[in-house]
Amino acid sequence: MGQRVAGKVAIVVGAGQVEGRTVGNGRAAALLLAREGAKVLAVDRDLTSAKETVRQIVADGGEAIAVRADVTCEQDIAAMTATCVQEWGQIDILHNNVGVGGLSAGDAPVSEIDAEAFTRIIAINLQGMALTCKHVIPVMRDRGGGAITNISSNAVLINYPNVGYKTAKAGVVALTEHIAITEAQFGIRANTILPGLMDTPMAIEQRVGRAGATREQVAAERNARVPLRNRQGTAWDVAQAALFLASDEAAFITGAALVVDGGQSLLTG
């Protein structure tokens, strides 16, 4: 247990995860913030998964509660925010880690994208983050400040093939910059993390079985695309970046887009 965010209250949106061998980005962030002293509201569309995150936090000696919310429903977001204030009286950290993409979301190149799929991807990946910020920021203003971290992707920077995910994640960067400059006067910081290839259940397990690929084959193909030691990152790499940005160590950092991708976005050719 550390003390880098001791006494703070954090909302982690997307704190659950799909089943898999490894930990997901949202769960890792929730666990790490709790280990460093924050009280955590673990929010997910899958309440059972959010409760599992809470169980692990409590087993580690931390404090957390689970809440179900769908970020495409503003009423859910308002209720989530109200629950946090009722429980702990404050919100100091907002960590937005919700996102969908790939074939399972219907994503495709711009010449092939279905309008309904594009709308859904934007609603989840971008609108959902805007609405959580809309409801949490007034609480942070009353508190005298806060830290918001929105998870984007290095898909913004690379030759990513599908238009929905890339466009939404680029919008997350712009949204965060807007919040950073408009809310600076209230002591609210906002930053973005752009993860690259991560060994998480959502990234790996959904690709297993395509063209007969095993998990090991999927991981090996992804590892080969990362310059730094030829290995993917883990959810803990993203969580450590999020912890830093949420802590007072980053007190003078706002509007930043922190790339956590092992150098993948630097590749050309």
Active-site positions?
165
| Nearest C-alpha neighbor of 97 from the set 193, 233, 201 | 193
> What distance in Å separates the CA atoms of residue 149 and residue 129, rounded to the nearest whole number?
10
Contact 14, 42 (CB under 8 A): no
124's CB contacts (< 8 A; 6+ apart) are: 71, 72, 98, 99, 100, 168
First to last CA, the chain: 44
What does R_g of the chain's alpha carbons equal in angstroms? Answer: 18
CB atoms within 10 A of CB 86: 8
Contact 143, 128 (CB under 8 A): no
